[in-house]
Each structure stands twice: as structure tokens, then as C-alpha cells.
Chains A and B, each alone.
Chain A
């Protein structure tokens, strides 16, 4: 019989051409590959945690919890106490949060309430996106050359040691860097406040400001707080910009203008020069602490967001 496309192409029930075609991977094996891909991400996370723990074991065994309260970080003597870095991290991050909120909350209100569409909205949104896209080392560079002289001048006016670098300067740079993170979730929750609530208040004669203050902000408060949490998580882990302007001192900071170090910045500074397994393990233990803290903060923040969207 003539060889037609019908015969070649499609197996009829009469013929046994099944094996002629490339099936591709069978469905079961393909699904298994997908499953493994998903599983490997979970394994990756767990592996990261375990590697950090194992690598910091020497320090964990040596210092225990005293690691976090020890005031002295002296590689020469083999004494590693991380209190100075904890304090440095907390000081710089919290100050950065407070400073950035002064700007990020208005941005959230601007984009979420006053200018939701249109040119003004697009302009600010794009600008904030650009802000988020600038690499951290460039922030540090800018901080080093623009902010440090300014802070130095400020310190001279205040009669403080005019170093320019220090925790205050680092919190300034951090504050700018976390504005996009602090404002993004806030913008979303503010824009999602139900309009009937707002209209009810407006129809009672309230001004826009009063609606914002008494209706919108309370309603959106948990979302705004979640955004702040996530911004905090970002600030805690920020390394390069901080390293370049914080002064890199391993002593407990005396004031906000003192030079200092954060957990991230001391790792950046000293890791490549660390000799001896205890030194290395101590630095890795700092990384472990960072890992755990940022993980808790991020999960908390995401949980809050999930709860809010469930509420709707």
C-alpha cells in the first residue's frame, strides 16, 4: 500500500507503531524531576544552616552564649566577644529605621492615597525603584565622599571628635537604602483600605488628613509594621555601604558618633585576614547569628502579610 502521511504519522488501532515516536521523558520521571527540583531548594536552605553551625562549632564550644555578651574582640589573644558588633548592628539599624520612616511613611501615603495613578505616581515609583537598584558599594562610595565630610562638619559644630565616619553616618546611608523596602508594603496596604470606610468618614465632614490619621493609618498599621520589619531585616544584613563609613572599630561604641562595626561589616573586614580556626569560626558564628535573626524577622514579616491578605 502507498506510504501516505496518514500511515506514517498516526498510529491506528490496527498498527503497532507506538515505539516510532519520541515520547519525551515519561510523565512519571518528569514529575519526579520537578519534585527533586523543589526538594533541592529545601535541602539547600537546610544545608546552609548546618554548614554555618558546623563551621562555627569551635567558637560555639569555646564561648557558648558568652560570645554574645563578651566585650572584647581580640584576635591576637584569641578572645572573641561579639557585644560590640551586636550593639553596633542594633544602633545603626534602629537609627536607620527611625530616620527612614520619616521619609518612607510619607512616600507610602503619597503613592497609596494622594497620587495613586498618573504622572506623579509613575515618577515617584520609578525613582524609588532606581533607589532600590543602586548597588550597595556605590551607596558606600557616595557616603564616603559626600556624607562623611558633612557629618564631620556636624561633629565639629557639636564639639564631638570630628571623624566623619561612625555609627551615625552608617545609619544615614542605611536609612536611604531601606526607604524602598519600608515604603513598598506600606503603599500597598494603604491603597487597599476599603473605600467605603474612607467615604463614610469623608461624608461625616472629615478632612483628608483626618481620614488618613483616623481611618487609613490604623487600618493599615499592621501592614506598615510588616514593611518596617522587612526593612529592618534588610538593614541588619547590609554590609558594603556600612563597612565603608562606619569606621571599623572593634570597641564598644560610646555614642552614636563613635566608630564601630556591625556583625556584617566586621566579617567583611577581617575574614580574609583571619588566621586560626577559632578566629574563622568566630566570624562564621557571627554569620550564623545574622542568618537566624534575619530569618526570624523575615518570616515574621511575611507571616503578618499573609495574615492580612487572609483577613481580606
Chain B
């Protein structure tokens, strides 16, 4: 049975004077993959950074409205807790350079002082690396530094690191834009396998990619949520003229 895991209600965000998100209303179902699309500067990265409360780290950042994760207002919860429930993978892979692959995966536990016994740690590391389709490639080199991996492997490591925390939602910020086509395909594959176990929101600049992997698509333009719906329907019959123009490449 599907249920709503994330609800965004009348949500706006700004940097100082500049309004970046205007009155967003969105509802996401559990274990689906939603793509967020739109031209540069439309606010898509800001939107996901509000979902894990990273947006407010920038000075002069302000938000209004509600974001409800499992019916709890995340802006009334300690941001540390929110961030532990919502995982994020960034555009450029950023594994911790001083840690081994093993330690990178369970960094979320180690850095937070959460004690796991050896068995639990090993299990979490293997599970997460398998889910990120990286286990076979690194299982004999778990104690090497993470920075020796290729770009695509590093990004999968970052995905494993986020998954190790068993997040409710996984946010992907254009995760393949810095990678070669082979790694991109690899990651697209694992992401579509992942969505059965975790709700995924993926920001993408690549329309074809959105069409390939996502169940739902949201189209943002100049800070407004122009259209949102099942991917198939939106791509074949967009309701808004702006959506149609974006999809046909009139602007981007």
C-alpha cells in the first residue's frame, strides 16, 4: 500500500532579498523515485537542500511553510535528526579523504559516536555496498583509502555511505553530472533498483535520464512548481505550456 512519506505545504525559501522557492506544494509517496527538473536557477537544488535542512547553513537563508516527513514538521525538529533521516548524495563525489572505504561507509555512525559492534558494522558495510553495486569491486580492498577509487566508484561509495544510515528519503543532487557515460548508466541502474527500499528524490538536468528512471516528475521554473505528476503522463501529455517547452528543448 502506498502512503505519503513527504508533504511539502506552502513552502517558500529565500536568500536575503532573493526569493528562490515560491509556495511549493508537493506530496511524495513512499518508495518511489521522483525526478526534479527545470532550467538552471529554477530552485531545484535549493528545494532538496531544504528537505534535509542544509539550505539554512547559508547566511541570510530563510524559509516559510511546512515540510512534513512522516507527518512530523522537520522545521520543528532538531536539524541533526532530520539529516540523519534524510540522506544526500552530492553532485561531485566527496568521500572522506582520511578514511578507508570501510570507514567511509559507516562514517555516519562513527562520526556521531554511535557504537556498533564489529558484526553490526561488517553487516552494515556489506549491505550498503551491495545496494550501491560496489561490493564486488571493493570487497578485497575495504581498508584502502576511498580516494583511490574512480569517479563513478567514489560516487557509489557516497551512495553507500548515505544508505548505511537507513534514511527515509535519499536525495540525489545531479549525482551523475560529473561522471562518464558508463558510470552514469551504472548508477542509473542501481538507483532504479533502490527505489523499492527507499524513497528517492533526484535532481537532474538530463531530461532523458528523468524519463528513464523516475516514477514521478516535478517541473520547477523560476522557483515555482509548474507541474507534478506520473512521469509517463507528464512526458507524453504535459498540462502546462512551460513544461512542454522545456521538454521539447525550447529553453534549458
Contact = CB atoms under 8 A, between A and B. Distances in A.
B147 interface: no
B152 interface: no
A6 B70 contact: no
B109 A12 contact: no
A13 B71 contact: yes
B1 interface: no
Contacts of A24: 113
State the main secondary structure of chain A at its contact with B: loop
Contact of A18 (B81, B113, B167): B81
Contacts of A21: 112-114
Contacts of B120: 5
Interface in A1-39: 5-6, 9-14, 18, 21-24
Given A5-B166, A21-B112, A11 B84 contact: yes
Interface string B77-109: 110110011000000000000000000000001
Contacts of B69: 13
A5 B123 contact: yes
Nearest to A27: B80
Contact of A9 (B70, B71, B80, B166): B166
Interface in B175-228: none
A161 B81 CA distance: 82
A16 to B, nearest CB: 10
B113 A10 contact: no
Given A14-B70, A21-B114, A9 B109 contact: yes
A255 B207 CA distance: 86
A105 to B, nearest CB: 43
B80 A23 contact: yes
Contacts of B116: 5, 9
B112 A6 contact: no
A177 B46 CA distance: 57
Contacts of A13: 69-72, 77, 85, 168
Contact of B114 (A9, A12, A18): A9
A10 B167 CA distance: 8
Contacts of B84: 10-11
B85 A12 contact: yes
A24 B72 CA distance: 25
B112 A18 contact: no
Interface in B46-87: 69-72, 77-78, 80-81, 84-85
What bracket does the count of chain A residues touching chain B fall in?
10 to 19
B247 interface: no
A12 to B, nearest CB: 7
B165 interface: yes
B124 interface: yes
B96 to A, nearest CB: 17
A22 B116 CA distance: 14
A5 B85 contact: no
A6 B85 contact: no
> Most B CB atoms within 10 A — which of A5, A11, A13?
A13
Nearest to A23: B80
A14 B167 CA distance: 13
A155 to B, nearest CB: 61
A10 B165 contact: yes
Contact of A12 (B70, B80, B112): B70
B80 A10 contact: no
A23 B78 CA distance: 11
B124 A5 contact: yes
A24 B78 CA distance: 14
B113 A22 contact: yes
Nearest to B111: A24
Given A21-B113, A21-B114, A22-B113, A9 B78 contact: no
Contacts of A22: 112-113
A262 B46 CA distance: 64
B144 to A, nearest CB: 25
Q: Top 6 nearest A-B pairs by Cβ distance?
A: A13-B70, A22-B113, A13-B72, A6-B166, A10-B166, A10-B84
28 contacts: A5-B120, A5-B124, A5-B166, A6-B166, A9-B109, A9-B114, A9-B116, A10-B84, A10-B165, A10-B166, A10-B167, A11-B85, A12-B85, A12-B168, A13-B69, A13-B71, A13-B72, A13-B77, A13-B85, A13-B168, A14-B70, A18-B81, A21-B112, A21-B113, A21-B114, A22-B112, A22-B113, A24-B113
Interface of A: 5-6, 9-14, 18, 21-24
Given A21-B114, A23-B80, A24-B113, 14 more contacts: A5-B116, A5-B123, A5-B124, A6-B166, A10-B84, A10-B165, A11-B81, A11-B85, A12-B85, A13-B70, A13-B71, A13-B168, A18-B78, A21-B112
